[in-house]
């Protein structure tokens, strides 16, 4: 829990105190509840886990299925409208903003929700749909709709989203980099 509070202080410049974070951060409350619900789910208390996750959704506006797999240091900023499906997998050190959906595109059984690698940031309103993989250190732009796999170190924007390599600090410092039309396609 201390790690979660410290992470919120680090990731949210509006965080004023640890007390404020513990009492007022719905993303943090949703993650703490998810951990309890996931434990219940893994130990066979499926109905209780689902009921508690729905109660958390009522309180926070964030829906996380108890069977989802979420790594360490996951931060949801603001959080209202976030939906994380049953077979979604989220790596360590990921962050997402409000209105994000990690959803399915079929009603078949088995893996039907996305997998996010480590250090992935998902912008507000983004929809990542289907059993796809977003590689580590990628960023998904606000309101992007992602329906295809993306390699590590990608920037995904648009509807449907197109993946392109993230710019390195060396690229940004090179004035000729911006003259390459391939980066705008």
Q: Quick one: what percent of the chain has pLDDT higher than 70?
A: 90
Q: What is the pLDDT of residues 115-143, one digit of tens each?
A: 999 999 999 999 999 999 999 999 999 99
* Token duo for residue 36: 């309890």
What local confidence, expressed as pLDDT, does residue 181 receive? 46
- The arithmetic mean of pLDDT across residues 141-166, rounded, is 92
* Token duo for residue 73: 């240091």
Confidence of residue 182 (pLDDT cuts 50, 70, 90): very low
SS3 letters for the chain? CHHHHHHHHHHCCCCCCHHHHHHHCHHHHHHHHHHHHHHHHHCCCHHHHHHHHHHHHHHHCCEECCCCEECCCCEECCCCCCEECCCCEECCCCEECCCCEEECCCCCCCCCCCEECCCCEECCCCEEECCCEECCCCEECCCCEECCCECCCEEEEECCEEEEECCCHHHHHCHHHHHCHHHHC
Contact 38, 64 (CB under 8 A): no
Q: What is the pLDDT of residues 40-97, one digit of tens each?
A: 999 999 999 999 999 999 999 999 999 999 999 999 998 899 999 999 999 999 999 9
Name the CATH superfamily, with its identifier, for domain 2-165.
Hexapeptide repeat proteins (2.160.10.10)
Please enumerate in sequence order all residues whose Cβ is within 8 A of that of 112, keeping only pairs 6 or more positions apart, or say none: 85, 86, 87, 104, 105, 106, 130, 131
Q: Quick one: what percent of the chain has pLDDT higher than 90?
A: 69
Provide the residue ranges of all domains of the chain, joining segments of one domain with +.
2-165
What local confidence, expressed as pLDDT, does residue 184 receive? 41
What local confidence, expressed as pLDDT, does residue 4 receive? 86
Please enumerate in sequence order all residues whose Cβ is within 8 A of that of 161, keeping only pairs 6 or more positions apart, or say none: 140, 141, 144, 145, 146, 147, 148, 150
What local confidence, expressed as pLDDT, does residue 172 receive? 52
């Amino acid at each position: 829990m201390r790690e979660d509070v410290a992470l919120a202080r680090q990731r949210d410049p509006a965080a004023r105190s640890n007390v404020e974070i513990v009492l007022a951060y719905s993303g943090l409350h949703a993650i703490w509840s998810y951990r309890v619900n996931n434990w219940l789910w893994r130990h066979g208390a499926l109905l209780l886990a689902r009921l508690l996750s729905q109660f958390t959704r009522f309180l926070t506006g964030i829906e996380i299925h108890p069977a989802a797999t979420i790594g360490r240091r996951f931060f949801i900023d603001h959080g209202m409208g976030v939906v994380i499906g049953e077979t979604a997998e989220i790596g360590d050190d990921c962050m997402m903003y409000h209105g994000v959906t990690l959803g399915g595109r079929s009603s078949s059984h088995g893996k039907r929700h996305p997998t996010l690698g480590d250090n992935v940031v998902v912008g507000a309103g983004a929809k990542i749909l289907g059993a796809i993989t977003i590689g580590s250190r990628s960023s998904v732009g606000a309101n992007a709709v992602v329906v295809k796999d993306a390699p590590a170190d990608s920037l995904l924007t648009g509807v449907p989203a197109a993946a392109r390599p993230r710019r390195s600090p060396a690229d940004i410092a090179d004035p000729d980099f911006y003259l390459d039309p391939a980066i705008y396609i």
